[in-house]
Structures are given as structure tokens and as C-alpha cells.
Amino acid sequence: MIQQTLVLIKPDGLKKSLTGNILTRLSETRLDIIAAKIVSVHRELAEEHYRHLKDKPFFRDLIKYICGEFHKRKVLAMIYYGEEAISKVRELAGATNPEEADAVSIRGAYGRITTSGVYENVIHVSANEEEAEREIKLWFEPDEIIVDIYPSKIVKKEMEKKVWV
């Protein structure tokens, strides 16, 4: 089945200069990148992205982590697209807990657990089709994606916009 999945190289992955290595590992999947951008993550986006964890004791630190307070204030957000994209990317990423992740997986190779208990696991990947759709629609506008993956519509908007001087 053709699928799409959200991949984030998290602030620790960027800070540790792992972007090239991670992209090389992900290219093993032969999937297509159909969207990519650098995002400075604000609190509302972080809290919405991780809303399923809001009752966990590590939630506050997790939000600080993904917002880049411990590393760099940015993430690289991408959409990978192709046959069985979700399971292919998730398998390469490895288990959530970097100490339990396969040693040759991305998280197993590069992740760590902080002294406060947060899993700094360098990459986010969607877990299933429902999550992928929710996350992709949260992180990207339809026009930022070069394939029509979900239904969209045209609306007329009068709005302020920053342009080059």
C-alpha cells in the first residue's frame, strides 16, 4: 500500500550533525521525499504534536526538548512517500527507548536517555496511518507537498504576508 509518513529530525539530531547520516539511512528505503522544511517549533505546535502524552510525567521536558531548549531551536520536517512507508521508516528508526532499540537502528545508534529521563532519540516517525495524517496536516500546508496525498480545497484569503523588499 502506498503511504506517507512524517519524519522529524529532532533538535538533538541537528545539534549532533546527524542530518546527513540519518538521510542516508532513510534512503535505504527507496521512498520519495515529497516535502521538507526547517521549522522553529513553537509551544502550541509541540503540545499538539505530543497531545497523546500530555498526562505523562515527562511531558514538560518533552515539550522543551522538541522546542529545542536543550539543543537548537529547530527541527527538519519531511514527508516520506511510497510503498509501506510507515513500517519501513519506523523499522529503520528503531524502538522509542534508545536503549531498547536495535543497535543498528537510527535511535539505537544515536539516541540517549537524559538524567531527567527523557528519551532523546534524534528522530520522530509516524506510528500508523491515522497518526501520519494528523501529523502531516499539523506540520504542512497542502501547497508545501508536491503530491496530492489528502483531499484539499481552494479558499480565498485576504491576509498579511511577508514579501521580499
Mind telling me the catalytic residues? 124
Return the number of the residue (122 or 149) whose C-beta is nearest ligand UDP: 122
Rounded CA-CA distance 107/96 in Å is: 8
Dihedral, CA of residue 87, residue 90, residue 96 and residue 102, to nearest 10? 100
Closest contact distance (angstroms) between CB of 42 and ligand UDP is 18
Closest contact distance (angstroms) between CB of 24 and ligand UDP is 21
Return the number of the residue (69 or 147) whose C-beta is nearest ligand UDP: 69
In this structure, the number of other CB atoms found within 10 A of the CB of residue 161 comes to 5
Return the number of the residue (53 or 146) whose C-beta is nearest ligand UDP: 53
Residues 127 to 156 in contact with Mg ion, rule: CB under 5 A: 127
DSSP class of 84: T
Is 33 a residue that touches Mg ion (CB under 5 A)?
Answer: no
Find the helix packing angle between 19-27 and 85-93, rounded to 10°. 130
Q: Find how far residue 71's CA is from the centre of its chain.
A: 16
CA atoms within 13 A on the CB side of 108: 13
* Stretch of residues binding Mg ion (CB under 5 A), selected from 17-25, 97-105, 124-132, 135-143: 124-132
Which of Mg ion, ligand UDP, none interacts with 96 (beta carbon under 5 to 8 A by kind)? ligand UDP
Residues that bind Mg ion (CB under 5 A): 127
